[in-house]
């Protein structure tokens, strides 16, 4: 079986965010039983529990490993081991790679990334901790349009190009071509097919065609509205300006994908300002009425 679990669902900064007093962050602190706190976005996929693959590596990864039994080291396999075999990187964004630094401790791992994302990480001295001894880190360079299998599993991973530049602190490694800095992933196994697209700057025809082939799509749910961030924190950019199609509005994700009714549609990567984080909000109602799921930490692909 293809197993797919979200170990965290929040955008960078988590929820509540440490330095934020916006309405949703405040509600999560005062009423956590109603407005659930969330860890930063992290996905895990596996066919066999002995070979688990992470999609990106969040800054909350240590907590996420401890909170999920499947990811624990096995007591019958020596003092040091892990079922985690590899990590597929879709970006060099800090919120999606910082967790790699928590996976050192001389553990052999395979990292799947584009040549450009690899170059960004290798240019940073911190990441040398992952390669202190021979055979600790194995790189597999991946490219949009060229499918590969995760380790020796039968899970096929097909990366596809997303628009998007390198994060600002890594621009000196650019410029990037299509799909070099940001990927979406199509995962297939045992007849299941899901798309993982936590950063969607535009819903293009090619993206719609990929979604239409899937049974489940996990889609960028960073913002409810284009002006949400600006309204909450004056002087900040719009959602579209920082590469996220908002959920609502005539040019929003819900409207643009409304003609794909048979799909299981799931929002991930929720920013702390997003009103859908409060299940009592009108925004939450609207998302659910439109047939979308707002992923919670621990969400799993139904078996
Ligand atoms: Zn906030």
- The pTM of this model reads 0.96
Residue segments in the chain with a per-residue pLDDT below the cut of 70:
none
For residue 166, report the distance from its CA to the centre of ligand 1, in Å: 25
For residue 222, report the distance from its CA to the centre of ligand 1, in Å: 12
| Residue given tokens 């401790």 in the structure block | 105
For residue 294, report the distance from its CA to the centre of ligand 1, in Å: 18
For residue 237, report the distance from its CA to the centre of ligand 1, in Å: 15
The answer to whether 132 and 103 have CB atoms below 8 angstroms apart is no
For residue 246, report the distance from its CA to the centre of ligand 1, in Å: 17
pLDDT for the residue numbered 87: 98
For residue 23, report the distance from its CA to the centre of ligand 1, in Å: 7
For residue 194, report the distance from its CA to the centre of ligand 1, in Å: 30
For residue 26, report the distance from its CA to the centre of ligand 1, in Å: 7
Environment class of residue 267 by beta-carbon count within 10 Å: exposed (0-12), middle (13-18) or buried (19+)? buried
Both structure tokens of 75: 């007591």
pLDDT for the residue numbered 161: 96
Cα–Cα nearest to 10, from 284, 221, 266: 221
Full strand arrangement of the beta sheet holding 3-8? 3-8, 42-46, 52-55, 84-88, 109-113, 137-141
The pLDDT tens digits for 21-59 are 999 999 999 999 999 999 999 999 999 999 999 999 999
For residue 19, report the distance from its CA to the centre of ligand 1, in Å: 8
The pLDDT tens digits for 83-133 are 999 999 999 999 999 999 999 888 999 999 999 999 999 999 999 888 888
């Amino acid at each position: 079986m293809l197993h797919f679990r979200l170990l965290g669902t929040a955008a960078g900064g988590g929820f509540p965010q440490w330095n934020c007093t916006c309405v949703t962050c405040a509600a999560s602190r005062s009423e956590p039983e109603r407005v659930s706190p969330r860890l930063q976005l992290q996905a895990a996929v596996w066919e066999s529990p002995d070979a688990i693959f992470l999609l990106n590596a969040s800054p909350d990864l240590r907590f996420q490993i401890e909170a999920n039994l499947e990811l624990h080291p096995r007591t019958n396999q020596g003092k040091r081991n892990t079922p985690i075999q590899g990590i597929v990187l879709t970006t060099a964004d800090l919120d999606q790679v910082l967790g790699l630094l928590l996976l050192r401790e001389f553990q052999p791992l395979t990292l799947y990334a584009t040549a450009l994302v690899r170059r960004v990480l290798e240019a940073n001295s911190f990441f040398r901790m992952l390669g202190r001894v021979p055979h600790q880190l194995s790189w597999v360079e991946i490219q949009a349009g060229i499918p590969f299998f995760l380790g020796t599993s039968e899970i096929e991973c097909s990366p596809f190009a997303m628009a998007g530049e390198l994060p600002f602190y890594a621009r000196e490694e650019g410029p990037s071509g299509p799909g070099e800095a940001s990927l979406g992933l199509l995962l297939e196994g045992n007849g299941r097919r899901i798309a993982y697209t936590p950063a969607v700057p535009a819903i293009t025809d090619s993206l719609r065609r990929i979604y239409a082939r899937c049974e489940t799509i996990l889609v960028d749910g960073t913002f409810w509205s284009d002006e949400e961030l600006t309204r909450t924190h004056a002087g900040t950019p719009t959602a579209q300006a920082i590469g996220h199609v908002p959920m609502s509005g005539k040019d929003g994700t819900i409207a643009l994908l409304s003609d794909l009714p048979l799909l299981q549609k799931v929002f991930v990567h929720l920013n702390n300002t997003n009103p859908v984080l409060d299940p009592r909000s009108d925004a939450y109602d609207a998302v659910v009425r439109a047939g979308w799921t707002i992923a919670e930490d621990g969400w799993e692909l139904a078996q």
